[in-house]
Amino acid sequence: MEIIYTITEKTSAYSVGDILKKELHLSRRIITKLKKQNGITANGTPVFTNAFLAPGCLLKVSLPENEHSKNLLPENIPIDVLYEDAFLLAVNKPRGLPVHPTRNFKSGTLAGGIMYYYRNEPFVFRAVNRLDKDTSGIVLIAKNQFAAACLSKQWHEKSVQKIYYAITEGVPFPLSGTIQTSISLSPDSIIKRCVSQTGTLAITEYKTIKTYDNGKALVEVCPKTGKTHQIRVHMAHIGCPLYADFLYGNEIIHQTFYLHCHSLSFVHPHTRLPITITAP
């Protein structure tokens, strides 16, 4: 993977190291790796990070992907590609498919399907966001260290807009609003979460899209924080758990909850332009 950056009048006052950090948002670890591999050049000539470059000079960063995810076996599992370029892959994960292998699901995962998709080239599986096995929708994969660092920073800074769709048991009242409560691990469980004054603050905005005669509703949900099971906990907290949610609502045999990651909006790590990816 290569990034080519043209030095401007403004950035000519920055050292190469500052450009890599401030303009290209590369981590210290990646910059160290680049220096060891002579992966930083200016107009085709290797350059040190303390150098200053003239306006119009082409700074090139080369990050070869010569590794392969260990312990992830390629599996011929179809994947629904929503978007792909040299930096990102976005797929529409179906319900019931785990993202990573776990103790209970050692095979049959999205990671295995992605590794099969890239079976003919070196590839490291770097999922930027995580979805529960029974949650469908967008999973974003960074295709190199640079993209992973940029996107992780945006998630950490909570600058990514996430929109989910959910089917609730009951109609929210009011039909739209903001839920702000603290969430912590339930004292009697290693999985279940609960609203608790001792937890950390979680914020969820919701809007009812459609109501049904059977008492259910289609709700658009925008989590502003990223706590485990946040949407499920918050909707149950206002009396409208997700339909068939076995942890926070009413368990229905052979069914599971309906929650779908519909869209992600963020800044593209290379172009630095806003991008929105949508999963139908």
**Residues labelled catalytic:** 132
63: left (phi over 0), alpha (psi -120 to 50) or beta: beta
* Omega cis (within 30) before 280: no
Beta bridge partner(s), residue 194: 184
Neighbours of 179 (CB within 10 A): 21
Distance from C-alpha of 149 to C-alpha of 27, rounded to nearest angstrom: 7
* Alpha carbon distances (Å) from 85 to 44, 88, 99, 119, 122: 25, 5, 21, 17, 16
